[in-house]
Amino acid sequence: EGPTVLILPGEGIGPEVVHVARDILEHVLDRAGLDAAISEHAVGRPAYERTGQWLPDPVRDKLDKAAATPCGAVLFGATADEPIGELRSRYDLFANLRPARPLPALRAVSPLRPERLEGVDLLIVRELVSDVYYGRRRTGTDAGRRWAGQEMYYREDEIRRILRCAFQHAEARRRHLTLVHKANAIPDVFGLWLDVLAEERPAHPHVEVQEMFADTMAMELVLRPADFDVIVTSNLFGDLLSEITGAVLGSLGLLPSATLSPTGFALYEPVGGTAPDIAGTGRANPLGTIGSVELMLRHTFDAPRWADLLAAAVARAVESWRTPDIAGPEDKPCTTEEMGAAVREAFDTL
């Protein structure tokens, strides 16, 4: 009995990219002789239209059960804020890992000059269940004028666990950690981040630690992306910074993510959103979702060699096949399905 994997296609381009990625997941597991209990469930808009619930009760029950096993996992397509925010929060999916490394064959896709991409290999560790996203909300009217407030809020333990997670990844990588904050303008919240960082540092003497303002980081990611290894930050800043790395690579459709809970339960999803403008056209790039399957093989299945093989298959497939977002002026763009088939074929020849 292997891991329980729930497939939640979601909406927009979600179902299309998940379909292709699920196919590849099953193909790899099959070849690797790995077991898994896989099932698929509607959430988000399609579920809402049928049941009146963004996250229907039966799906929530299944998720509750999977989250209670040591190696439950979700492969997620895309939804708007409903129910992704609830999922993250309900299962305490606090550690969002967003790795970014350019594929050699796709250098030309990046808006950056090729020399700036040399050596880029970074990991954004984004806190995902706190910050202004989940802070206190209030609205009102004062002398006839409306106002609204939502609190950016962090507790020391929330900060500590994400920093520890980031330190662990830094230890296993190039031992460089950048904490991104904005203590010059938001001193209480990010002062606390800096205090907790100071407390955690001594336990990791071999990790070089750097602090950087969020605005400076936004700039440096574009100017010098190769200078960073692990970048750890709050929910809101992590949201913006990971889209910048998507831009640096040339397409958000390339970026995978893994989000871990303290118990090991994990959710895998592409960084990109529902992209309603291209949903149903076969133009969506499935590589961010396939990359998320790679992360699932690594973390949930503890099968790093099969993950590496899948990564190699992707690198090879993009030498000849490209969805419109990553196609050059001379390339004939392929469809979502064709991209998936190309990865599977490349995998079989490795």
Ligand X SMILES: CC(C)[C@H](C(=O)O)[C@@H](O)C(=O)O
List residues binding ligand X (CB under 6 A): 80-81, 84-85, 184-185, 215, 239, 273
Using the rule CB under 8 A, which residue among 1, 30, 57, 142 binds a copy of itself? Answer: 142
Interaxial angle between packed helices 336-349 and 14-32, expressed in degrees from 0 to 180 and rounded to the nearest 10: 10
Is residue 315 within 8 Å of residue 289, measured between CB atoms?
A: no
- The answer to the question of residue 45 lying near a copy of itself (CB under 8 A) is no
The reply to whether 80 sits near a copy of itself by the rule CB under 8 A is: yes
155 binds a copy of itself (CB under 8 A): yes
Site for a copy of itself in 267-326 (CB under 8 A): 273
- Applying CB under 8 A, the span of 24-32, 94-102, 107-115, 336-344 interacting with a copy of itself comes to 107-115
Does the footprint of a copy of itself cover residue 195 (CB under 8 A)?
A: yes
Residues in the chain: 350
Q: By CB under 8 A, tell whether 206 contacts a copy of itself.
A: no
Give whichever of 246 and 286 is closer to a copy of itself, judged by the CB atom. Answer: 246
* Contact partner, 188, from a copy of itself, ligand X, none, Cβ < 5-8 Å per class: a copy of itself
Among 16, 220, 269, 294, binds a copy of itself (CB under 8 A): 220
198 binds a copy of itself (CB under 8 A): no
Q: Which stretch binds a copy of itself (CB under 8 A): 58-66, 132-140, 291-299, 313-321?
A: 132-140
Q: Which of 202, 196, 241 is nearest to 218 (CA)?
A: 241
| Radius of gyration of the CA atoms of the chain, in A | 20
Listed in sequence order, the residues at least 6 apart from 112 whose beta carbon sits closer than 8 Å to its beta carbon are 222, 225, 248
Q: Shortest Cβ distance from residue 243 to ligand X (Å)?
A: 7
Structure tokens at 336: 């979502």
Q: Could you give the CA distance from residue 201 to residue 20 in angstroms, rounded to a whole number?
A: 42
How many whole angstroms separate alpha carbon 226 and alpha carbon 220? 10
When asked if residue 234 is in the footprint of a copy of itself (CB under 8 A), the reply is: no
- Interaction between residue 151 and a copy of itself (CB under 8 A): yes
Instruction: Please report, for residues 68, 102, 258, the alpha-carbon distance to residue 251 in angstroms, rounded to integers and kept in the order given.
Output: 35, 10, 18
Closest to 226 (Cα-Cα) out of 106, 113, 317:
113
What's the min distance (Å) between Cβ of 126 and ligand X? 8
Residue 26: how many CA atoms within 13 Å on its side-chain side? 12
Per DSSP bridges, beta strands 176-181 and 137-142 are unpaired
Q: Do you find a cis peptide bond into 104, omega within 30 degrees of 0?
A: no
Q: Which of 248, 287, 309, 326 binds a copy of itself (CB under 8 A)?
A: 248
Query: Should residue 156 be labelled a site residue for a copy of itself when binding is judged by CB under 8 A?
Result: yes
Check: CB of residue 109 under 8 Å from CB of residue 326: yes
Choices 8-16, 62-70, 153-161, 257-265; region in contact with a copy of itself by CB under 8 A: 153-161
In the complex with a copy of itself, which residue's Cβ is closer, 16 or 325?
Answer: 325
Please report how close the Cβ of residue 111 comes to a copy of itself at its closest, in angstroms. 5
Separation of alpha carbons 12 and 43, rounded Å:
12
Range list of β-strands (E), 217-344: 230-233, 256-260, 266-270
Contact residues toward a copy of itself (CB under 8 A) are 80-81, 85, 111-113, 116, 132-133, 135-139, 142, 145-157, 182, 184-189, 191-192, 195, 214-216, 218-223, 236-237, 239-244, 246-248, 250, 252, 273
